[in-house]
């Protein structure tokens, strides 16, 4: 394998080299059997074993208690913005809008009932987690997106609610959470867990009683769970890569160890921002809720921004351009990003400031 760059892409994102190598080997020849894992039936004993292990490792890593199912699906988290209220919204649901994806989730749910947007930080360009809101007493659930991929905020302290739904696409298994505090956790895999094309949901089983008979089996969470996510052919190779990622996470010491590493990584970059606030302007004003996964900031001009990106690219740091509607810089530092990558970016920031800042 050639030299690997530090890929700060927001997703699909970099995966651990060890995971890629193990998955590539299994793709060509699975356990020396003369066929690859992507060539086996989703109902074969080979894939039965993959599904059993991937769920067992997920349960162990996240300490998922009894009373929950793990469901894998296709279509991305954006499809689940529709599927989830289709299954579970009865009457009304509460949404707190902290970014583009939370806003889209709230919009999608309107087709299935009343959506109460309790609070939104859109008026201040999603630079904070909104406060001062109260859940409705009769709402089906409270929905939040725990980490804002585009604008760089996160819920450092998650709200408490008897039926809390959370889109964790961009920080799944990046920090320790108490699963028992949630009714539903879901997300796309393409940031921390694996490739695009796979979604993972952790569903509290008592929710199934809400599902209307009108929901087709293909989109019915209970049916998907009962059929082990195989009502139709699932993204088998993508799920296998998740298995290799979970094995890798265990070797790193589990999610608590990964969280500590993620804190260290983010601190390196935030310290570089905070050392030069007149040059590197963080887009998040709500400092306690700055994301550990997506670090966003701006330079004094578009010209300097382009120069910063080009020079970083030459140093082996890629995909630092901010989201198309936001601009600036976005460094996504998911689990697979090593500490060395964040240290390299912090050095580049200091060197670029020295060469281009005010004399």
Active site residue ranges: 101, 167, 191
Q: C-alpha 337: how far from its chain's center?
A: 14
Question: What's the rounded Cα separation, in Å, for the pair 284 and 267?
Answer: 15
Q: C-alpha 126: how far from its chain's center?
A: 18
What 3-state class would DSSP assign to 306? Answer: helix
Single out the residue of 197, 241, 337 nearest to residue 19, CA to CA: 241
Side-chain half-sphere of 2: how many Cα atoms within 13 Å?
Answer: 3
Unique residue bearing structure tokens 């799920």: 239
DSSP 8-state symbol, 322: P
- Distances from the Cα of 102 to the Cαs of 15, 86, 91, in angstroms? 25, 17, 20
Question: What's the rounded Cα separation, in Å, for the pair 4 and 7?
Answer: 9
Question: What's the rounded Cα separation, in Å, for the pair 222 and 211?
Answer: 8
Unique residue bearing structure tokens 């697979």: 336
Q: C-alpha 317: how far from its chain's center?
A: 21
Paired residues of 324 in beta bridges:
none
Single out the residue of 32, 75, 90, 59 nearest to residue 214, CA to CA: 90
Paired residues of 204 in beta bridges:
68
Buried b (16+ CB within 10 A) or exposed e, 126-149: bbbbbeeeebeeebbbbbbbbbbb
Question: What's the rounded Cα separation, in Å, for the pair 144 and 157?
Answer: 12
Question: What's the rounded Cα separation, in Å, for the pair 329 and 9?
Answer: 11
Q: Which residues contact 289 (CB under 8 A, 6 or more apart)?
A: 128, 129, 153, 154, 155, 156
Find the length of the chain: 359
């Amino acid at each position: 394998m050639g030299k690997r760059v530090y890929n700060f892409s927001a997703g699909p994102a970099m995966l651990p080299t060890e995971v890629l190598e193990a998955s590539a080997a299994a793709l060509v020849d699975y356990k020396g059997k003369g066929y690859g894992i992507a060539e086996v039936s989703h109902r074969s004993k080979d894939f039965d074993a993959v599904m059993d292990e991937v769920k067992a490792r997920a349960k162990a890593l996240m300490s998922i208690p009894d009373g929950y199912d793990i469901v894998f699906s296709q279509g991305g988290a954006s499809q689940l913005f529709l599927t989830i209220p289709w299954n579970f919204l009865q009457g009304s649901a509460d949404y707190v809008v902290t970014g583009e994806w939370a806003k889209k989730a709230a919009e999608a749910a309107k087709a299935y009932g009343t959506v109460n947007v309790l609070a939104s930080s859109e008026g201040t360009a999603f630079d904070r987690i909104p406060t001062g809101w109260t859940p409705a007493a009769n709402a089906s659930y409270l929905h939040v997106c725990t980490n804002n991929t585009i604008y760089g905020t996160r819920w450092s302290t998650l709200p408490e609610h008897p039926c809390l739904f959370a889109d964790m696409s961009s920080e799944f298994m990046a920090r320790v959470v108490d699963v028992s505090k949630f009714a539903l956790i879901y997300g796309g895999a393409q940031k921390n867990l694996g490739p695009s094309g796979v979604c993972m949901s952790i569903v509290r089983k008592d929710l199934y009683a809400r599902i209307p008979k009108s929901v087709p089996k293909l989109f019915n969470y209970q049916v998907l769970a009962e059929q082990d996510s195989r009502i139709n052919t699932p993204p088998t190779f993508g799920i296998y890569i998740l298995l290799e990622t979970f094995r890798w996470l265990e070797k790193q010491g589990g999610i608590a160890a990964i969280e500590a590493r993620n804190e260290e990584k983010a601190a390196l970059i935030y310290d570089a921002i905070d050392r030069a606030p007149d040059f590197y302007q963080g887009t998040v004003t709500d400092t306690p809720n700055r994301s550990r996964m997506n670090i966003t900031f701006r330079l004094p001009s578009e010209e300097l921004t382009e120069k910063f990106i080009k020079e970083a690219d030459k140093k082996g740091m890629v995909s630092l351009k901010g989201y198309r509607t936001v601009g600036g810089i976005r460094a996504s530092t998911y689990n697979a990003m090593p500490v060395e990558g964040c240290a390299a970016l912090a050095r580049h920031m200091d060197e670029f400031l020295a060469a281009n800042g005010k004399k």
